[in-house]
């Protein structure tokens, strides 16, 4: 008797297990391959899973295995390199394989949709329809007309039907009678012979030297470190052109906020070849179609946000990650992968170049460049004659402030507007004020579900928790002492907008934050208005800091630069420096020199001084030397094991047990160190108490080995059920 065939299947469940099934009945078992989808019974539901292995035995008795119901694919869904990348990532990030694979697939494929593009429907006659004698449908003249047209032309599509004035209901009637059937056809445009639509810009010497160092093929990672406006994008475009002319494809990853219609338009203007985008604004069908076009090679350039790293490409020849320092490349929940780090692995396995670009590279990447793992390419000149903006700190410790603005700042805003230029005011807090305060008894509006204060919003007026979304009415009187003198405490964007409008009543003040841009196209409309160039003041959050170029802004005011300096997250200062320079980069981009005013309470802080006086690289060096001393990434590797529960003691007890298990496996020392359980930065959120255990390691191998042993033990642990828990490898956010 032949050996039995057993399918090992990854199912989208939170369990780390793989599931064994028998093949679907009647399916030729030689057709079964890893990477194909199957529909299987699971409890009393039906799930779509992926075949991980086709094997000849199971650890369970064969009679206990259920057969899969159907095989959905004739071929594996993903090309082999991507399939293996997904398996590796699930393993490395300690995420259940079924859920990881599902995260990597477009929604419609997870739901069992065929991996085919939705084509244009067309209609033909069945054999019966063809054999119908003339005049058979005399009593239904429209149906007869349709029949005649089909007999004459063979097939009709939607446009043909519309031209003939035949309603779909008539088609449907003939379909029901079995005389007509429909098919779908994907219209494939013939390949475009030209690579370029538009002539490339002439490169500066510095740009040309950088491009020359990026090889056309072979594994190679370049860190392209270039100040804002130094022309990194032009280097991407010309490197992509070389790749396309070899007949290969390009994949470009951009931060969530960076995939603007402007970005896409720039690529489409340059290239005659098909460019597709993958982003959250697309519906499921559009996403799947773009994904399929990339897989079958018709899309030549794919631009997408984080999850686009899992796009299958027929023949990928170059990978680019723009703004590589951006934290949106790391997924913060579920499958916590880093698209940037996976890009490096994908490039390595495909033996192709990767370009990581940024004006403020992450410390990890700078470290990799210093140690020679990445090739370091630097662009220091701004394109054209544009000069770098002048950075000025303003010590606001002893200055009277008017709604957060110093007198000098207001003066400079006035001068800028009078000269016909635009002003950008940056404040990373939306709402009217960070909270509401009672001056009589000191009461503060706090969220009853989180360890945090409620933000006061004015339009419409309410209190809002930005962590759990809890909202409530603004009380008329202090809940604690009944005083009616409640007042806003601190500054948010709404309040700054109001203050600026009061100071400059004849100037347009435009607020840009998540609240003001909620409506479709609102952000685009705001950006268009600014681009018209009339004097105006833009006030907003980090939505203003990224991607958009405002050529007429000559003054940038940073109202609160201090928050990151004293953050308990070790990445706080790095993030602060990056954000500050990204915002500063908005000023003076064209031929107009810009000025940046940084209002700070800590003008003497060594990090602030280093950043402003000696620049980002000296600042990065300073932080790196501190990280080396304190044993933090990139000098040591880290994983966070998080647990949260409605009762804090559950989370603490669970993590203590996890630490004990870990120490049994690997005693603390230089190779592996443990810290915690400690409360998270926001200890209570949405009524859950949050704790974390930090594991740090001298090398990735030791960390991986420990985590792979711990994860299944944690899953089985009795206390696990009382917690929500997760493992975050290479965490970007320590909260
Ligand atoms: Zn009070
Ligand atoms: Zn809010
Ligand atoms: Zn809350």
73: left (phi over 0), alpha (psi -120 to 50) or beta: beta
CA separation for the pair 14, 125 (Å, rounded): 49
User: Residues 182-195: pLDDT tens digits?
Assistant: 887 776 777 788 99
CA 505 distance to own-chain centroid: 39
**Distance from residue 587's CA to the centre of ligand 2 (Å):** 28
pLDDT at 367 over 90: yes
**Distance from residue 683's CA to the centre of ligand 3 (Å):** 11
pLDDT at 282: 86
CA separation for the pair 408, 412 (Å, rounded): 6
Model confidence band, residue 690 (pLDDT cutoffs 50, 70, 90):
very high
> Could you say which ligand is closest to the alpha carbon of residue 467?
3
Q: 496-528 burial by CB neighbour count: b if 16+ within 10 A, else e?
A: bbbbbbebbeebebbbbbebbbeeeeebeebbe
Query: Which of 358, 339, 229 is closest to 617 using CA atoms?
Result: 358
Domain range annotation of the chain: 6-110, 120-185, 205-379, 390-429+491-626, 432-490, 637-729
Task: Give the dihedral sign, CA 358/359/365/370.
Answer: positive
Model confidence band, residue 547 (pLDDT cutoffs 50, 70, 90):
low
pLDDT at 260 over 90: no
pLDDT at 293: 94
- For the chain, give percent helix, strand, coil, nearest 5: 35, 25, 40
pLDDT at 565: 77
> Could you say which ligand is closest to the alpha carbon of residue 435?
2
> Could you say which ligand is closest to the alpha carbon of residue 484?
1
- The DSSP annotation for 456-516 comes to EEETTEEEE-TTT--EEPPPSS-TTT--S--EEES--HHHHHHHHHHH-TTSEEEEESTTT
CA separation for the pair 720, 726 (Å, rounded): 10
pLDDT at 385: 61
Residues around ligand 3, an ion, CB closer than 5 A: 447, 449-450, 465, 467-468, 470
**Distance from residue 485's CA to the centre of ligand 1 (Å):** 8
CA separation for the pair 505, 6 (Å, rounded): 75
Please state the rounded mean pLDDT for residues 210-218: 96
Query: How many of the other CB atoms lie within 10 Å of CB of 365?
Result: 23
Per CATH, domain 120-185 is 1.10.10:
yes
Q: At what angle do helices 232-245 and 261-270 cross, to 10 degrees?
A: 50
Fold of 205-379: Rossmann fold (3.40.50)
Structural contact between residues 378 and 226, judged by C-beta atoms closer than 8 angstroms: yes
Backbone dihedral angles phi then psi of residue 186, each to the nearest 5 degrees: -90, 125
**Distance from residue 579's CA to the centre of ligand 3 (Å):** 26
**Distance from residue 483's CA to the centre of ligand 3 (Å):** 24
**Distance from residue 469's CA to the centre of ligand 3 (Å):** 6
> Could you say which ligand is closest to the alpha carbon of residue 481?
1
**Distance from residue 481's CA to the centre of ligand 1 (Å):** 4
- The DSSP annotation for 10-23 comes to E-SSSS---EEEBP
> Could you say which ligand is closest to the alpha carbon of residue 448?
3
Model confidence band, residue 655 (pLDDT cutoffs 50, 70, 90):
very high
User: Residues 387-437: pLDDT tens digits?
Assistant: 778 888 888 888 888 999 999 999 999 999 999 999 999 998 999 999 999
Please state the rounded mean pLDDT for residues 245-258: 91
Structural contact between residues 592 and 634, judged by C-beta atoms closer than 8 angstroms: no
Please state the rounded mean pLDDT for residues 297-319: 96
CA separation for the pair 565, 572 (Å, rounded): 6
CA separation for the pair 147, 700 (Å, rounded): 69
pLDDT at 1 over 60: no
**Distance from residue 405's CA to the centre of ligand 2 (Å):** 23
Mean of pLDDT over the chain: 91
Q: Tell me the sheet residues that pair with 694.
A: 640, 675
Model confidence band, residue 545 (pLDDT cutoffs 50, 70, 90):
confident
> Could you say which ligand is closest to the alpha carbon of residue 439?
1
The DSSP 8-state label assigned to residue 519 in this structure reads: S
Residues around ligand 2, an ion, CB closer than 5 A: 464
Instruction: For domain 637-729, give the CATH number.
Output: 3.30.70.600
**Distance from residue 488's CA to the centre of ligand 2 (Å):** 14
Residues sharing a CB contact under 8 Å with residue 578, sequence separation 6 or more, in sequence order: 325, 360
CA separation for the pair 321, 326 (Å, rounded): 10
CA separation for the pair 544, 522 (Å, rounded): 14
Structural contact between residues 540 and 427, judged by C-beta atoms closer than 8 angstroms: yes
Please state the rounded mean pLDDT for residues 258-276: 87
Residue 86 assigned ligand-binding role:
no
Query: Which of 94, 53, 90, 48 is closest to 73 using CA atoms?
Result: 48
CA separation for the pair 150, 129 (Å, rounded): 9
CA separation for the pair 644, 720 (Å, rounded): 10
Structural contact between residues 183 and 175, judged by C-beta atoms closer than 8 angstroms: no
The DSSP 8-state label assigned to residue 551 in this structure reads: T
The DSSP 8-state label assigned to residue 448 in this structure reads: S
Query: Which of 31, 46, 40 is closest to 8 using CA atoms?
Result: 40
Alpha helices in 40-121, H assignment, sequence order: 80-92, 97-104, 107-110
Question: Burial level of 635, CB count in 10 A (0-12/13-18/19+)?
Answer: middle
Residues sharing a CB contact under 8 Å with residue 74, sequence separation 6 or more, in sequence order: 31, 36
Alpha helices in 563-639, H assignment, sequence order: 572-584, 606-609, 616-630
**Distance from residue 682's CA to the centre of ligand 1 (Å):** 25
Residues sharing a CB contact under 8 Å with residue 100, sequence separation 6 or more, in sequence order: 86, 89, 90, 93, 335, 337
Pick the CATH number of 6-110 from 3.40.1440.60, 3.30.70.640, 3.40.50.1820, 3.50.50.60: 3.40.1440.60
Structural contact between residues 315 and 350, judged by C-beta atoms closer than 8 angstroms: no
**Distance from residue 437's CA to the centre of ligand 1 (Å):** 8
Backbone dihedral angles phi then psi of residue 475, each to the nearest 5 degrees: -70, 150
Assign domain 390-429+491-626 to its CATH architecture: 3-Layer(aba) Sandwich (3.40)
> Could you say which ligand is closest to the alpha carbon of residue 455?
2
Give the pTM.
0.89
Backbone dihedral angles phi then psi of residue 529, each to the nearest 5 degrees: -60, -45
Residue 438 assigned ligand-binding role:
yes
- Give the β-pairing of 155-157 and 595-600: unpaired
Q: Max Cα separation, the chain?
A: 98
CA 105 vs CA 86, 99, 275, 308: distances in Å: 10, 10, 20, 10
Helix (H) or strand (E) holding 303: strand 301-304
pLDDT at 187: 67
The answer to which of 42-56, 195-209, 383-397, 437-451 has the lowest mean pLDDT is 383-397
pLDDT at 567: 81
Structural contact between residues 414 and 408, judged by C-beta atoms closer than 8 angstroms: no
Please state the rounded mean pLDDT for residues 517-544: 88
> Could you say which ligand is closest to the alpha carbon of residue 487?
1
pLDDT at 16: 87
3-state secondary structure of 682: strand
**Distance from residue 444's CA to the centre of ligand 3 (Å):** 14
- Give the β-pairing of 301-304 and 249-253: parallel
CA 671 vs CA 331, 613, 697: distances in Å: 27, 38, 5
CA separation for the pair 160, 156 (Å, rounded): 6
Hey, do 205-379 and 390-429+491-626 end up sharing a CATH topology, with the first three levels equal? yes
pLDDT at 646 over 80: yes
CA separation for the pair 225, 228 (Å, rounded): 10
Model confidence band, residue 102 (pLDDT cutoffs 50, 70, 90):
very high
Share of the chain above pLDDT 70, in %: 98
Structural contact between residues 107 and 287, judged by C-beta atoms closer than 8 angstroms: yes
CA separation for the pair 452, 685 (Å, rounded): 8
CA separation for the pair 656, 648 (Å, rounded): 12
**Distance from residue 684's CA to the centre of ligand 1 (Å):** 24
Query: Which of 290, 390, 646, 452 is closest to 307 using CA atoms?
Result: 290
pLDDT at 589: 60
**Distance from residue 465's CA to the centre of ligand 2 (Å):** 6
**Distance from residue 451's CA to the centre of ligand 3 (Å):** 7
pLDDT at 674 over 60: yes
Kindly provide the residue ranges of all beta strands, DSSP E only, lying in 135-218, ordered along the sequence: 155-157, 180-185
> Could you say which ligand is closest to the alpha carbon of residue 446?
3
pLDDT at 471: 96
**Distance from residue 507's CA to the centre of ligand 1 (Å):** 38
Residues sharing a CB contact under 8 Å with residue 28, sequence separation 6 or more, in sequence order: none
pLDDT at 561 over 80: no
Backbone dihedral angles phi then psi of residue 318, each to the nearest 5 degrees: -155, 145
Please state the rounded mean pLDDT for residues 373-380: 94
pLDDT at 253: 97
CA 10 vs CA 37, 66, 84, 100, 334: distances in Å: 10, 15, 14, 9, 16
pLDDT at 135: 72
**Distance from residue 514's CA to the centre of ligand 2 (Å):** 9
Share of the chain above pLDDT 90, in %: 70
CA 684 vs CA 76, 400, 688: distances in Å: 44, 36, 5
């Amino acid at each position: 008797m032949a050996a039995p065939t057993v399918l090992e299947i990854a199912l989208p469940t939170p369990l780390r297990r793989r599931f064994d099934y028998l093949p679907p009945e009647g399916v030729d078992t030689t057709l079964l391959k890893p990477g194909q989808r199957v529909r299987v019974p699971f409890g009393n539901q039906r799930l779509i899973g992926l075949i991980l292995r086709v094997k000849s035995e199971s650890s369970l008795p064969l009679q206990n295995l259920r057969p899969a119901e159907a095989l959905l694919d004739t071929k594996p869904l993903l090309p082999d390199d991507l399939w293996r990348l997904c398996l590796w990532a699930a393993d490395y990030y300690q995420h259940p394989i079924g859920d990881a694979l599902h995260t990597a697939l477009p929604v419609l494929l997870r739901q069992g949709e065929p991996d085919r593009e939705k084509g244009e429907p067309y209609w033909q006659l069945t054999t019966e329809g063809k054999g119908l004698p003339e005049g058979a449908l005399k009593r239904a003249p429209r149906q007869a007309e349709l029949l005649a047209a089909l007999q004459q032309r063979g097939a009709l599509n939607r446009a043909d039907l519309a031209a003939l004035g035949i309603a779909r209901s008539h088609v449907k009637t003939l379909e029901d009678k079995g005389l007509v059937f429909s098919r779908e056809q994907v219209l494939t445009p013939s390949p475009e012979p030209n690579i370029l639509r538009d002539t490339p810009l002439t490169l500066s010497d510095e740009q040309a030297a950088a491009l020359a160092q990026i090889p056309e093929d072979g594994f190679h990672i370049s860190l392209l470190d270039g100040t804002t406006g130094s022309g990194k994008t032009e280097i991407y475009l010309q490197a992509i052109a070389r790749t396309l002319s070899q007949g290969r494809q390009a994949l470009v990853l951009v931060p969530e906020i960076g995939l603007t219609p402007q970005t896409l338009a720039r690529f489409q203007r340059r290239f005659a070849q098909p460019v597709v985008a993958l982003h959250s604004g697309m519906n499921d069908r559009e996403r799947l179609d773009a994904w399929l076009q990339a897989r079958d090679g018709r899309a030549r350039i794919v631009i997408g946000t984080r999850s686009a790293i899992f796009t299958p490409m027929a023949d990928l020849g170059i990978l680019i990650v723009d703004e590589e320092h951006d934290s949106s490349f790391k997924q913060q929940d579920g499958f916590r992968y880093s698209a940037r780090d996976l890009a490096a692995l994908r490039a390595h396995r495909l033996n192709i170049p990767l370009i990581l670009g940024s004006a403020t590279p992450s410390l990890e990447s700078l470290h990799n460049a210093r140690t020679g793992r990445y090739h370091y390419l630097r662009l220091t000149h701004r394109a054209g004659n544009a000069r770098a903006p002048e950075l000025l700190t303003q010590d606001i410790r002893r200055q009277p402030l008017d709604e957060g603005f110093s007198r000098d700042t207001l003066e400079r805003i006035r001068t800028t507007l009078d000269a016909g230029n635009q002003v950008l005011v940056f404040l990373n807090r939306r709402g009217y004020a960070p909270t509401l305060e009672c001056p009589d008894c000191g009461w503060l509006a706090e969220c009853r579900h989180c360890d945090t204060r409620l933000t006061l919003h004015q339009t419409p007026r309410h209190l809002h928790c930005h962590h759990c979304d809890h909202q409530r009415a603004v009380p008329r009187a202090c809940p604690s002492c009944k005083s009616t003198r409640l007042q806003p405490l601190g500054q948010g964007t709404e309040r700054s907008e109001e203050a600026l409008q009061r100071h400059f009543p004849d100037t347009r003040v435009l607020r840009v934050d998540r609240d003001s841009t909620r409506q479709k196209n609102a952000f685009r409309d705001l950006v268009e208005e600014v681009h018209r160039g009339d004097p105006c003041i833009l006030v907003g959050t980090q939505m203003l800091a990224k991607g958009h170029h405002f050529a007429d802004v000559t003054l940038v005011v940073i109202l609160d630069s201090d928050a990151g300096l004293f953050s308990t997250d070790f990445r706080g200062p790095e993030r602060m420096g990056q954000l500050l320079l990204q915002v500063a980069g908005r000023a003076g981009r064209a031929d107009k020199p810009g000025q940046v005013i940084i209002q700070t309470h800590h003008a003497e802080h060594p990090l602030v001084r280093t950043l402003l006086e000696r620049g980002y690289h000296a600042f990065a060096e300073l932080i790196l030397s501190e990280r080396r001393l304190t044993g933090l990434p990139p000098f040591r590797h880290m994983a966070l094991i998080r647990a949260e529960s409605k009762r804090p003691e559950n989370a603490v007890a669970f993590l203590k047990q996890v630490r004990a298990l870990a120490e049994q496996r690997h005693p603390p020392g230089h190779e592996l160190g443990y810290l915690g359980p400690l409360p998270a930065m926001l200890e209570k959120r949405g009524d859950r108490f949050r704790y974390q255990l930090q594991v740090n390691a001298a090398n990735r191998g030791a960390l991986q080995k420990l985590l792979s042993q711990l994860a299944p033990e944690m899953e089985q642990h009795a206390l696990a059920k009382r917690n929500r828990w997760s493992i975050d490898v290479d965490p970007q956010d320590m909260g």
